[in-house]
A and B are shown apart, each in its own frame.
Chain A
Amino acid sequence: DIVMTQSPDSLAVSLGERATINCKSSQSILNNSNNKNHLAWYQQKPGQPPKLLIYWASTRESGVPDRFSGSGSETDFTLTISSLQAEDVGVYYCQQYYTSPSYTFGQGTKLEIK
């Protein structure tokens, strides 16, 4: 199985500042046939299901604020929140869907306000 490792496990950022979460896969999740990275990012708030933010590593889901962006390729990926808002507090997960259907998630990164 592909192992997804996120860093850091937790992060405290001041309002208006940039937040960066990293996700590393144990093998490349770049599909050479379509040149797309099979990586998604989700946000989960307490008591709620995960909410899709980003897919194909960098495509923002409709309705997601443009302060959220995804980048990276092959094994190293980043979720960036350009200017942290209070409502962005939660746990963020990356997920690979390269080895479908044996999907795997990162362990999660807890984002808090400093």
Chain B
Amino acid sequence: IAGITQAPTSQILAAGRRMTLRCTQDMRHNAMYWYRQDLGLGLRLIHYSNTAGTTGKGEVPDGYSVSRANTDDFPLTLASAVPSQTSVYFCASSEGAGGQIGEQFFGPGTRLTVL
């Protein structure tokens, strides 16, 4: 692994189903983030984690949950998917939470369609 990976690459999901998007980084970064990107809108923060064992809510957390059991992994779970959660999801990580070390490195994204 080099950098940050996400799985799956894309997924079509029936409404009401549960889904976990996986994210793994090998840079030993402290902070990790989940964003969604929709056409015409900027990246919107869903949840974040400044260090292993802690998580926080971003701008659009409803319907999503995260966990950070270790430094490398930061899965995002949709408990009961709805069509409005159709989006491209990006996981990102940064060495720290402020200044230049706040530079975020992004995974390749997961394209999720909820029908």
Q: Do A and B bind each other?
A: no
